[in-house]
Amino acid sequence: MNNFEEEILITIKNNNLIQDGEKVLLGVSGGPDSIAMLSALYEIQKERIIDFNIYVAHINHGIRENAKVDEKFVKEFCKERNIECFVLNTNIKEIAKENKRGLEETGREIRYKFFEEIGNEISANKIAIAHNKKDNAETIIMNILRGTGISGLCGMEIIQNKYIRPLLFETREKIEEYLKNKNIEPRIDETNFENEYTRNKIRNIVLPYIQKEFNPNFIDTLNRLSSIVKEENNYLKKITEQAYKDILVEENLKPEKDVYKSKDLPTIILDLKKFCSLDRVIQKRIILYAINKLFGSTKGIEKIHIEDIIKLCNRNIGNKYLTPNKNTKVVIKNKKIYIFAKK
């Protein structure tokens, strides 16, 4: 193995990304990052330092004229290495138009849905995505522009449930040097140079400008910030989890009987007095923690919703409720906070 592959192996071991006997599905577009990830993991697999199996998922989005060439390139790359490759042919533009949604959002949804489907089909333990240091910096900037809290400054996680990012600590320069040394010519997505989408504008305009005018090491600076914030965020997570346990009255995520005189709905019940005695920072986190427990996500819950729930809890007069979105209902009754899924 060369230096780059050894670095990836160290990242895998230090972060427990892949274990012996696991099946790993790689999302591969054919571009420099994903091909470097595929090549490096293939070489690591050959050495049998970690005994795991590789599979590849490729998506032809139907947007670019060269998409078929990319698909052929990925298939042949896998065939030469005896790696099973799954391909999805779709038309993102048509789907986005039908659903009246943006191309970026639609593409991301279809991409991860396909990864999940293939992952389930082959019983994959992990799904590997080829994000690198620069991608992480771009994500942090995007989060800042949207208005973010601590979690947004954390950037990307190296491991998140099934998803792993073995290249997250690598620079694009190292990736390109690795491919050059391996005599691998990746496919180049020309749409990455079009400044139509938010991430492309950040990649092609914002980052180069900041690097030129203010800080040439800005990508490293953002990644250091990400690392520091992650440590503090992980500490707050532990505090939140303990506080949640302390104020928890009942957790009924898969109810078998009626709860709160309602339909058979997943419910979390918290002690109102104990909740109100907590610091506001922890209150906000407990609300998000509870909603994530109910739905597996906090999507659709905005800052204003959290503020409204806290206000509801502090104004303890009679029976009160609110519905922050169509799926969630929060009720104050009998000195308790009931948070339940409406569906």
For the chain (343 residues), the mean pLDDT of every run of 10, in chain order, is 94 96 97 97 93 96 82 96 95 85 86 96 97 96 89 94 96 96 90 80 95 97 96 95 96 66 77 95 95 86 90 75 85 91 74
Distance CA(109)–CA(105), nearest Å, equals 6
Sheet strand arrangement including 159-160:
84-89, 53-60, 23-27, 126-128, 163-164, 159-160
Report the pLDDT value the prediction gives residue 255, as an integer from 0 to 100.
65
Distance CA(209)–CA(189), nearest Å, equals 22
User: What burial letters (b/e) apply to 174-194, b meaning 16+ CB within 10 Å?
Assistant: bbeebbeebeeebbebeeeee
Report the pLDDT value the prediction gives residue 285, as an integer from 0 to 100.
95
Nearest to 6 by CA among 212, 193, 174: 174
- Which tokens sit at 125? 């333990």
Q: How many CB atoms lie within 10 A of CB 144?
A: 12
H helix runs in 163-217, sequence order: 172-181, 198-201, 207-213
Distance CA(44)–CA(52), nearest Å, equals 9
In sequence order, the 6+-apart residues with CB closer than 8 A to the CB of 93 are: 62, 63, 103
Report the pLDDT value the prediction gives residue 316, as an integer from 0 to 100.
63
Q: Specify whether the CB–CB gap between 71 and 60 falls below 8 A.
A: yes
Report the pLDDT value the prediction gives residue 101, as an integer from 0 to 100.
84
Distance CA(336)–CA(178), nearest Å, equals 58
3-216: CATH superfamily:
HUPs (3.40.50.620)
Distance CA(53)–CA(67), nearest Å, equals 27
Longest Cα pair distance anywhere in the chain, in angstroms?
72
Q: Specify whether the CB–CB gap between 85 and 35 falls below 8 A.
A: no
Q: How many CB atoms lie within 10 A of CB 68?
A: 12
Residues of the chain with CATH 3.30.465.60: 232-341
CATH topology of domain 232-341: 3.30.465
- In the block, tokens 């005189």 appear at 261
Residues of the chain with CATH 3.40.50.620: 3-216
Distance CA(337)–CA(308), nearest Å, equals 13
3-class SS at 92? helix
Report the pLDDT value the prediction gives residue 208, as an integer from 0 to 100.
95
Report the pLDDT value the prediction gives residue 252, as an integer from 0 to 100.
87
Q: Specify whether the CB–CB gap between 38 and 30 falls below 8 A.
A: no
Model pTM score: 0.85
3-class SS at 18? coil
Task: For residue 238, give the amino acid letter.
Answer: K
